[in-house]
Structure formats: structure tokens, C-alpha cells
A = this chain, B = another copy of it.
Amino acid sequence: MARTAESKRWYVEEVGTVVSGRDEAIDDEWGLVESRIELTSGFGPAALAGLEGFSHVEVVFLFDRVDPRSVCRGARRPRGNPDWPEVGIFAQRAKDRPNRLGVSVAELLAVEGTALTVRGLDAVAGTPVLDIKPVLAEFTPRGELRQPAWSHQLMLRYW
């Protein structure tokens, strides 16, 4: 149960890049945005073989436009909205978070060589992609979801 005094750390590499899609980090209306993810030169088409059998992909990416010095490690109000409670950074999905990791599910439209086209990925152009996983129904939440009212309000115009 001992905690390490100093956190351990590892390198992660860019495996792909969001090369089109929206260029501005705005909060809402991501649902219809089409984006292209291009794998970096270290990968061939084999890395995406069979992906077209899935309707959706889960993309792990880096919020690289967030200044590491502005990362929140405690609590804050989502979007700074005074109507919503102050909640911990691990109780919200804000981008200025430790490790600056984003995880989003997008609809897969096409796979061509070392690139894929997706709809509804909430990542701006140039965003480094760290992983792409197929979405399996078995990996979606098991059991009924419960979430606070503020989180529904925040998502009203998101997609």
C-alpha cells in the first residue's frame, strides 16, 4: 500500500495525427465534424487491417494545446460556470487535466491505407493521437449509468 514519493513516468509517442477537422478548440457542436487521422510513418496499412468491420473507434489523444503549467490537479468549476459545483479534475472531462489525455468515441466512416476518416471526434487539427481502439459493445458501460445534473447541462450542445 506504500505510495511512491515521486511519481513514475513514461514516454508515449504520437501514432497518428488529426490532419483535418476543426482548427479551433471550441466547446460545442462537435457531432458533425469530420476528421482524418493519419498514422505516422512508423506504421503501415497492416496496423489498421480489419478495422473497417467496426462502426466506431475509441481514440486516445493528447490535448497538446493545453499549457502543462495550466493543468488543474485539484478541483474547479466545469467551464468556470458559477451555476455548477466545484468538482475534482477526475470528476470532469476538462482538457486541462494531468497528462492531458483525451478519450473519445467517433463513428468510423472509412479506412484507406494508413488513414481513417471519422465523424464526431472532438479533437482539433494537429492533435497527436496516442491510440486507436475498436469499440466493442462489451466494453461499453455495464449496468445503468448515473450522473449529476450539471454534467447533462454541460453536454446539451456538445454534439
Contacts and interface: CB of A to CB of B under 8 A. Distances in A.
Contacts of A134: 90-93, 147, 151
B9 A91 contact: no
A147 B74 contact: no
B99 A54 contact: no
How many copies of this chain sit in the oligomeric assembly?
2
A33 interface: no
Contact of A50 (B14, B91, B99, B133): B91
A79 interface: no
A82 interface: no
A58 B43 CA distance: 28
Given A1-B38, A5-B41, A75 B49 contact: yes
Contact of A101 (B48, B75, B91, B130): B130
Interface of A: 1, 3-5, 7-15, 17, 19, 31, 38, 40-44, 46-51, 53-58, 60, 62, 64, 73-75, 85-93, 97-99, 101, 103-105, 107, 120, 128, 130-148, 151-152, 155, 158-159
